[in-house]
Structure 1
């Protein structure tokens, strides 16, 4: 499985993130979410396919980023559970 980072900004005030969050969680049982608008998931899909699947849950003025991760990473400030997930899945 490949590892993808998903980031988004919903730019209209009062937007509901629930549909988008549910869609991200439904893409993969293996996901990480410790930053407000940033997720990491494991998937056999492509970045384009993931982006297309999520695009129906955002408005035209929103921003969505899906990128495949290389496996290298560095971080600070996350709890042990969050850090372990990153070490195990990047």
Structure 2
């Protein structure tokens, strides 16, 4: 499985994150790293993940999906150390 980072900004105030978060949480292994940054494990490509999430955002929003392929370090993340140690 690939280790994927997702980062997003819903640019206008009052945006509903619920649909996007539900799509991210539909991946079996997911963890919220920071307010708008998530980690998932999947066999999907970055393009497939991006395309899956696009229906939950607007044209003025931004989305980044990237595959981790190297070393990682963190401090005080929302998902906790255990999740990252087990899934990165």
TM-score, length basis structure 1: 0.91
Inter-partner Cα distance in structure 2 for 1:89 and 1:41 = 8
> Aligned to 1:15, what secondary structure does the other structure show?
coil
Question: In 1, are the aligned partners of 2:34 and 2:77 still within 8 Å (CA)?
Answer: no
Unaligned runs of 5+ in 1: none
How well do the aligned residues superpose, as a CA RMSD in angstroms?
1.4
1:66 aligned residue: 65
Instruction: Provide the residue aligned with 1:21 in structure 2.
Output: 21
Q: How big is the shift at 1:77?
A: 2.0
Q: Matched residue pairs, number?
A: 88
Greater mean alpha carbon deviation, residues 6-15 or residues 65-74:
65-74
Cα separation, 2, equivalents of 1:71 and 1:38: 18
Give runs of aligned pairs for residues 37-76 of structure 1, distance below 5 A.
37-76=36-75
Deviation at 1:86, TM superposition (A): 0.8
2:31 match: 32
Deviation at 1:22, TM superposition (A): 0.3
Decide which structure has greater helix share.
1
Once the two structures are TM-superposed, the CA of residue 34 in structure 1 deviates from its matched residue by: 3.3
